[in-house]
Amino acid sequence: MSKRGPGMVHVELTVAAIVADGPRYLVIEEAISGRYVINQPAGHVEPGETIIEAAVRETREESAWGFVPDGLVGLYYWPHADGRTTLRVAIAGHVTDHDPRQALDAPVVAAHWLMRRELAQDYAMRSPLVLRAIDDYERRSPMPLDYLHHIENAP
């Protein structure tokens, strides 16, 4: 039996960290296809990794900040024009220690703390999911993390 037969969708599972410090949000600036864009610390969930572990790892790798998850902001299902589909899990949290000497993962060029209005007016977003997750965070309280379940080796 084929894993990807007719009518089946292959979904890329990604995470994003939503970190607010007052009115400012932790974002990263990336160089993608010759242009600079803004994203949250985000990336793919690796094999053997939980969604929470992926959010912590991606935040450290892309911003040099330690990340402590606090709640679930939302799930974002995004079919791309090129046929790919992303399911992004946005996790709210706070940061702890910062290592300014740490090299950031390519294609990240810098981490910034920016206000929502600055993001909307002055920067290009990597995807429509960036501002949507921030808006959802501002509109409602994150859900408890126990809404996320990691099931291994289920019968």
| pLDDT per residue of the chain (155 residues) written in tens, 0 to 9 | 335 556 788 999 999 999 999 999 999 999 999 999 999 999 999 999 999 999 999 999 999 999 999 999 999 999 998 889 999 999 999 999 999 999 999 999 999 999 999 999 989 999 999 999 999 999 999 999 999 998 887 66
14 CB contacts (<8 Å, ≥6 apart)?
42, 43, 44, 45, 86, 87, 88, 89
Structure tokens of 23? Answer: 């009115």
pTM score of the predicted model: 0.91
Please count the CA atoms within 13 angstroms of the CA of 147 that sit on its side-chain side.
Answer: 14
Structure tokens of 25? Answer: 């949000």
Report the DSSP beta bridge partners of residue 93: 19, 69
69 CB contacts (<8 Å, ≥6 apart)?
17, 52, 55, 56, 91, 92, 93, 145
Structure tokens of 109? Answer: 């060029």
